Amino acid sequence: MFKILVVEDDINAGKLMEAILTEQHFVPILAKNAQEALSILDQEHIDLMITDIMMPGMDGYSLTEQLRDTGYDFPILMVTAKDTIKDKRKGFIVGTDDYLVKPVDEEELILRVKALLRRAKIVSERKITIGNVTLNYDSLTVSRGTERVTLPQKEFMLLYKLLSYPNTIFTRLQLMDEIWGYDSQTGEHTVSVHIGRLRERFGAWPEFDIITVRGLGYKAVKNDEQ
């Protein structure tokens, strides 16, 4: 069972998260502040941390930054009343993986926790498995049964990104920035070209589809029933 550290100075909010997580068969461990969280981490293996930002003493930003600096790589979900781009940007810069705004919706909390745990597994194993299909990050290969395709790096990274976040819509600009880099002189049309090549290669494979969301961008859909 996954152990989830909840760092929340509001006792009622902490108890609510404890109840939500327990109902979903996670093992929540509560800490009232950052120092208590650090003590717990010295004694317990933690799979994921949920932390408030505004806390007495060390805040959630500083806690996250300290953990990343000392080598902790488990997923971190920040929960806060702050909802500005500046606040979110600061959170991502110090090393958070996701961001949830109070008041917390129970269903959204669980969906985000499960998604973060799944992505952490993908990162640690460096592969994605969908039915009979396996994407291997180290070899840049996509395999299905006895068929094995080695992709150019950018094509593979694009497919790996989309399938790491199934049903999530990415704009061309988001994909451009992440795969090609912020300073790339290549235009957004390049993303469309690479998507077209991936569809040509894997259009007949039933395990997944790459969908164009008109006016927004692209998403990958896993067909797990196959």
Task: Decide the pairing of beta strands 217-222 and 208-213.
Answer: antiparallel
The pLDDT, as a whole number, for residue 226 is: 42
CATH number of this structure's domain 126-222: 1.10.10.10
Residue that is written with structure tokens 């327990």 in the block: 22
Residue 206: DSSP 8-state: T
| Domain residue spans of the chain | 3-124, 126-222
Task: Please tell me the predicted confidence (pLDDT) of residue 184.
Answer: 59
H/E element holding 146?
none
Task: Report d(CA 69, CA 89) in Å as an integer.
Answer: 18
Do the Cβ atoms of 142 and 159 come closer than 8 Å? yes
- Output the pLDDT for position 185: 63
On whether the CB atoms of residues 188 and 202 are closer than 8 A, the answer is no
The pLDDT, as a whole number, for residue 30 is 96
Q: Do domains 3-124 and 126-222 have the same CATH topology?
A: no
Could you say which DSSP state residue 9 is in? S
What is the fold, at CATH topology level, of the domain defined by 3-124? Rossmann fold (3.40.50)
Extract the residue ranges of the chain whose pLDDT is less than 70: 82-83, 182-187, 224-226
